[in-house]
């Protein structure tokens, strides 16, 4: 009596190949990030400064809630977080661990950037 030979790879072999593919993907993703680091850093600086200024104007001049001010953001700005300091009349826009910028409302001047954009990663 002849037995059928099963040539399919073992499940651990498939899992190992999937692990190698995942590692390769992460290495490629890291290389792309490193290659474009200066461009990404610049885009984050512009995005946080824009977000802080627009949200400050919306909140303090327009009188809208800060959550409603997100409607004024351009597409692609979903990662930017906003925080409000009503005591100092400031709005800070940030991308966690990467970049932040603060705009302050001054009577007669409107919303101005209080400092240069801070990049948290050098």
Residue 5 phi, psi (nearest 5): -95, 125
Can you give the three-state secondary structure of 6-37, one letter per residue? CCCCCHHHHHHHHHHHHHHHHHHHHHHHHHCH
State the pLDDT confidence band at 11, using cuts at 50, 70 and 90: low
- Do the domain assignments include residue 2? no
- Do the domain assignments include residue 115? yes
- Do the domain assignments include residue 73? yes
- Total domains, the chain: 1
**Residue 92 lies in domain:** 35-119
- Do the domain assignments include residue 102? yes
pLDDT tens-digit series, residues 56-113: 999 999 999 998 998 889 898 888 999 999 999 999 999 988 899 999 999 999 999 9
pTM over 0.75: no
Our separate counts of H helices and E strands in the chain read 3, 5
Report the share of the chain in percent with pLDDT over 90.
55
- Do the domain assignments include residue 92? yes
Report the share of the chain in percent with pLDDT over 70.
85
């Amino acid at each position: 009596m002849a037995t059928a030979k099963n040539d399919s790879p073992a499940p651990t072999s498939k899992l190992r190949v999937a692990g190698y593919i995942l590692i390769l993907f992460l290495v490629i993703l890291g290389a792309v990030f490193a290659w474009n680091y200066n461009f990404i850093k610049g885009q984050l600086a512009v995005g946080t400064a824009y977000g802080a200024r627009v949200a400050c104007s919306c909140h303090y001049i327009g009188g809208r809630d800060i959550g409603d001010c997100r409607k004024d953001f351009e597409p692609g700005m979903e990662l930017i977080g906003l925080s409000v300091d009503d005591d100092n009349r400031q709005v800070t826009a940030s991308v966690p661990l990467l970049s932040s910028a603060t705009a302050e409302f001054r009577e007669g001047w409107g919303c101005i950037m209080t400092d240069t954009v801070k990049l948290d990663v050098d």
